Amino acid sequence: MRVSDPGYNALHAAVRTALVVPVAFAIGEVVGNADTALFAGFGAFALLLFCEFSGPPRVQLVAYAVLTVAGAALITIGTLLSQSPALVAAGAMAVVGFVVIFAGIVNKYLAAAANAALLSFILPVMVPAGAGNIPARLAGWAIGCGLAIAARMLLWPTRAADPIRVGAANACRALADVVAGPHEPDREDAAVGAVDAVRNRFVATPFRPTGSAGSSAALASLVDELTWLPALAVLAPGDGAEAETVRGASVDVLRESAARLAGDAGTIELDRLVSARKDVLDRLFRRLADPGTPDNDTLRNSLQGTWRLQALSYTTQRIGELARIVAGPAARRPDHVVASVRRLVADHTNLKSVWLRNALRAAAGLTFAVLLARLANLQHAFWIVLGSLSVLRSSALRTGASALQALIGTAIGIVVGGAIVLAIGGDRILLWVVLPPAVLLAAYAPRAISFAAGQAGFTVALVILFNLIAPSGWKVGLVRIEDIAFGVVISVAVGLLFWPRGATAALRNRLDEAYQAGATYLATSVSRVFDGGTSEPLTAPRQEAVARERLLDAAVRQFVTERAAPPNHADDVARLLAGAISLRVSGDSLANLAQQVEGTPRPAIASDVRADVDDVRVWYTALGSALAMRAAPPAPTTALAAPSDDVLADVRAAADSCDRARTIGAAAVVLGFERLDFLRSREMQLAQAAERLRELGA
């Protein structure tokens, strides 16, 4: 148990379920009828096993309450449609299934609630009843959900802080130590380890922070920013008054951010950091304008050091801004939230979106299951639909594997459950006695043992439960395996139709598109730094890069949620994801630099510089293509040569002219060159990650 269930979370959840479900079922029988008991039991199952919300207790309570209300609405609609023609019921299932699953792109709470919400519609629509049964069903749902919420909040409540947020706080502390004392190997190793830990945890979390706005989106962006800082903290110079000022302000921001992420009160002061960054640039320009411009080596080192301090302060400022939102998000205007959700939905309303295809596939499977069950008029047809939902995966192969596990588990459950029922006979007291252990097994097995074991445990519990409602002995198990078999056929057919290759192929394609879009945006931003022109905060290439990032994020989430996924290469996937994001972040940084120097003349760029700039774009584009085609990644190139003497001569000439605007423009070209050099330095790590995935067939 220590190995398969660290912290005994699965055991706690199972005990909670074993205590609540029988009580809810019993109360439903006492105060109502069979419908009340059925919906009380499944209401408790839905909230205790089919979903789990994280966050502060108040947030969890609100989430469970909203799910309860939404479930009540779906129960009402489902009951009204339960005696409608088969095509009407199937059409309603298509709409509900698609909307519920697709809505998960908005935030992690909607994603986590999807299965419970679907259950609240599938059960009533597949168990025929008239409108007069709605009050009894809603009463049962209220009983089950009420007891489940109380158990969630009082029995081994989830009080622990978000592990990604805790990891981000640890990374901020470790990075602050490196910035305060650079070139100390122990501190550097600790910082890299802390950043790797939070990044890998982020990638391996299926319902991780994401969405269109608010603290969840800020925490996702914070993880991206943290991946940049270890290298910048080591590279940034530590000597001189300017460096000490920037480093001191950065250390304060990182430690204040760590404290706020950990839940402590306090503020994150950014003004000192912003002021220090401006002073560094101003001092560089004043130094260049002084008579007696230094030699090329000194000038090159001065420009390089300025860029590194600028990059360190810019990234640290972004971390502080994001930590503010995560720790205490400011109220957002409703129109801003609506606009953000619209952009997110627009990004995913194309067939390249994993989330859209997943929603379409699941909705189609559920729709066909409802249609088949209603047309065949099968007993307990509800299990056909639930069986389809439980075994659908992101590829036909893995759907077949999970379907086989479902059938094997169900068969074992029938044997065990049938033996129990035969031994007990019609003694209801003994059936009540064995119900809690059966529920305990049903709740514990899928989390700590296997999917097949979970199906076996669930079948045992259902055999006992249905014999309490309407005694039929072990035959109820045969009905369940018959219905599961129908669900299996539907699920495999839908998997073949909609997504025969699964999430791995989609992940590779989305990585390719993200690298292509990021490289295009980077090239546009570089052009504005080197050649001048108008810089706008949101250009079309940037919007495309952000949209591709969102599609990539959905593909990564699907990849890690596959129950029968390939070996987990979280670190390599995380590194490649960060590489795609780094192109967009570099584009943002260069676009910001272009705005700062807008209107200043630029020096003529030597042809070798332009060639090196194009090499960076071509390499990242080729990496994306190699990932999509499962080909060997391009060979990493050596780091860019330092700015040539011709480029430095332009800076020297501008400084000698005492023309501030011309000097700023010349220095901006070198600062942009340094950003590209940083991207080139990451090529080796990205190529190695891509090669490992290719060799392992992922």
pLDDT higher than 60, residue 36: yes
pLDDT higher than 60, residue 113: yes
Where is average pLDDT lowest: 81-90, 103-112, 262-271, 409-418?
409-418
Can you tell me the mean pLDDT for 607-624? Answer: 79
Alpha carbons 624 and 559: distance in angstroms, whole number? 18
pLDDT higher than 80, residue 625: yes
Q: Quick one: pLDDT at residue 567?
A: 47
Can you tell me the mean pLDDT for 430-434? Answer: 85
Alpha carbons 146 and 552: distance in angstroms, whole number? 38
pLDDT higher than 80, residue 619: yes
Can you tell me the mean pLDDT for 355-377? Answer: 80
pLDDT higher than 80, residue 256: yes
The CB density around residue 164, as the number of other CB atoms within 10 Å, is 23
Where is average pLDDT lowest: 121-130, 235-244, 268-277?
235-244
Closest by CA to 73, choosing from 121, 34, 132, is 121
Q: Quick one: pLDDT at residue 563?
A: 43
Place 435 in a pLDDT band, splitting at 50, 70 and 90. Answer: confident
pLDDT higher than 80, residue 207: no
**Phi, psi for 604 (deg, rounded to 5):** -65, 135
pLDDT higher than 60, residue 411: yes
- Average pLDDT over all residues of the chain: 78
Can you tell me the mean pLDDT for 272-295? Answer: 73
Where is average pLDDT lowest: 14-23, 353-362, 378-387?
378-387
Q: Quick one: pLDDT at residue 382?
A: 64
Going 468 to 472 to 478 to 481, the CA torsion angle's sign is negative
Q: Quick one: pLDDT at residue 330?
A: 47
Can you tell me the mean pLDDT for 530-534? Answer: 65
Q: Quick one: pLDDT at residue 358?
A: 78
**CB contact set of 115 (below 8 Å; sequence gap of 6+):** 46, 50, 51, 389
Can you tell me the mean pLDDT for 257-269? Answer: 83
Alpha carbons 200 and 556: distance in angstroms, whole number? 12
Alpha carbons 393 and 358: distance in angstroms, whole number? 9
Q: Which of 95-104, 382-391, 445-454, 657-666 has the highest mean pLDDT?
A: 95-104
Q: Which residue has the higher pLDDT, 77 or 587?
A: 77
Q: Quick one: pLDDT at residue 224?
A: 73
Place 117 in a pLDDT band, splitting at 50, 70 and 90. Answer: very high
Alpha carbons 50 and 165: distance in angstroms, whole number? 24
pLDDT higher than 80, residue 298: no
Q: Quick one: pLDDT at residue 211?
A: 47
Of the chain, the end-to-end C-alpha distance in Å amounts to 30
pLDDT higher than 50, residue 295: yes
Is the pTM of the predicted complex or chain greater than 0.75?
no
Q: Quick one: pLDDT at residue 621?
A: 93
pLDDT higher than 50, residue 664: yes
> Is residue 450 packed enough to be buried (19+ CB in 10 Å), middle (13-18) or exposed (0-12)?
middle
pLDDT higher than 80, residue 566: no
Beta carbons of 225 and 318 less than 8 angstroms apart: yes
pLDDT higher than 80, residue 497: no
Percent of the chain topping pLDDT 90:
16
Place 514 in a pLDDT band, splitting at 50, 70 and 90. Answer: very high
pLDDT higher than 50, residue 528: yes
Model pLDDT for residues 39-57, shown as the tens digit of each residue: 998 899 889 988 888 777 8
Domains of the chain, each with CATH number or no CATH: 1-162 (no CATH), 163-203+214-327 (no CATH), 502-695 (1.20.58.220)
Where is average pLDDT lowest: 230-239, 367-376, 630-639, 683-692?
230-239
Place 141 in a pLDDT band, splitting at 50, 70 and 90. Answer: very high
Place 698 in a pLDDT band, splitting at 50, 70 and 90. Answer: low
pLDDT higher than 80, residue 557: no
Q: Which of 160-164, 208-212, 259-263 has the highest mean pLDDT?
A: 259-263
- What's at 430, amino acid-wise? L
Model pLDDT for residues 142-182, shown as the tens digit of each residue: 999 999 999 999 888 865 567 788 889 999 999 999 888 87
Q: Quick one: pLDDT at residue 65?
A: 95
CA angle at residue 485 from 483 to 486, to 5 degrees? 65
pLDDT higher than 60, residue 558: yes
- What's at 329, amino acid-wise? P
Q: Which residue has the higher pLDDT, 664 or 134?
A: 134
Beta carbons of 460 and 441 less than 8 angstroms apart: yes
